[in-house]
Amino acid sequence: MPNILTEKNNKKTQNIDLMDTTSIIKTINNEDKKVAKAIEKALPEIAQTVDIITDSFLKGGRLAYFGAGTSGRLGILDASECWPTFSAPADMISGYIAGGDYALKHSIEGAEDDKEEALEHISDFKPTKKDVVIGISASGNPQYILTILEEAKKHGAKTIGITSNPHAKLKSIADITITTPVGPEVITGSSRMKSGTAQKMVLNMLSTASMIKIGKTYGNYMIDLQPVCTKLIERANRIIAEICKIPVAKADKYRIKAENNVKTACVMYIKQCSKKEAERLLKTHNGILRKVLQNEKIS
């Protein structure tokens, strides 16, 4: 039997091709229930990683995800969603996939063994001591990922590995390894399933918790969202209205005055000040709305 957990045969699904539809999806659902439990065991390492990422951001550092196949696509997905959700600049969180952009829509399986491309990608990122590099891989063994982590360490960057394999080679390289042993996949070797789900959940935690810790939320409101469509404009107005305890119509007027910046709009209303003064107050408090408003009573 292989020593890679994600490549082992799942005894509970050996006859899945003989099951009826309901039995197939129930089986998949039962296997998926194991993902959250596997992640729970890795919470200490996830918390450590969040603190490292937060410290990096506060020092002007960057975060980069690297992966092949499903892992690379999930890293790019998480990185790309941080701008609309948190207004995180593109160079603050980035994602790379073995095989390049073409691999986002097409399978390039041999790319995970490409050391030369790994060297090109890490050279493009230009890691420094302030940065964090995360290698994502179900097996934790592809040469692409190992090379990325090795090169990042040479430049002093903090290195993190995310894998579903307790025996992953990347564990000997990464400063911290987040291991989510979800067990054999429903379809043997199909790491886009439980392993991919685990990776998505871990990445959600890492980026969201880090953004919370650098002041990108107020309570559970995404106050740094980009109101670039009707849905997001309406969401921005609701957030302003609820924080300031004013009607949505009034919130809309303040959003417009603040040129679509939710935090600025809230400060303008609560402090009854100009846009320029609101921006100054936010800059003084590193953009953290709670610090600007902490002594204010909102009636």
Summarize pLDDT for 176-205 with one digit per residue, the tens.
999 999 988 888 888 899 999 999 999 999
C-beta of residue 218 within 8 angstroms of C-beta of residue 289: yes
For residue 142, which of 75, 181, 178, 97 has the smallest C-alpha distance?
Answer: 97
Please count the CA atoms within 13 angstroms of the CA of 140 that sit on its side-chain side. Answer: 27
Residues in contact with 280: Cβ distance below 8 Å, sequence separation at least 6, in sequence order: none
Rounded Cα gap, residues 259 and 271, in angstroms: 17
CA 104 distance to own-chain centroid? 17
Active site annotation includes 279: no
Q: Tell me, what's the pLDDT at 107? A: 83
Size (the chain), residues: 299
Q: Which of 31, 40, 45, 81 is catalytic?
A: 81
Looking at residue 138, the DSSP 8-state letter turns out to be S
Q: Tell me, what's the pLDDT at 12? A: 84
Specify the amino acid at residue 272: Q
Say whether pTM exceeds 0.85.
yes
Rounded Cα gap, residues 15 and 13, in angstroms: 5
Angle at 23 between CA 18 and CA 27, to 5 degrees: 105
CB atoms within 10 A of CB 147: 21
Domains of the chain: 5-213 (3.40.50.10490), 230-293 (1.10.8.1080)
Q: Which residue spans within 71-137 are E strands per DSSP?
A: 93-97, 132-136
User: Among 9-13, 262-266, 269-273, where is mean pLDDT lowest?
Assistant: 9-13
Mark 179-209 as b/e (b = at least 16 C-beta within 10 Å).
Answer: bbbbbbbbeebebbbbbbbbbbbbbebbbbb
In the chain, the percentage of residues whose pLDDT exceeds 70 is 97
Active site annotation includes 234: no
Rounded Cα gap, residues 103 and 123, in angstroms: 19
pLDDT band at 42, cuts 50/70/90? very high
Range 276-287 average pLDDT: 94
Residues in contact with 63: Cβ distance below 8 Å, sequence separation at least 6, in sequence order: 53, 56, 57, 79, 92, 93, 94, 131, 132, 134, 207, 210
Rounded Cα gap, residues 208 and 219, in angstroms: 13
Question: Does position 96 have pLDDT exceeding 90, yes or no?
Answer: yes
Q: Tell me, what's the pLDDT at 298? A: 55
Residue with tokens 């990325």: 148
Q: Which of 45, 112, 117, 151 is catalytic?
A: 112
Question: Does position 2 have pLDDT exceeding 60, yes or no?
Answer: no
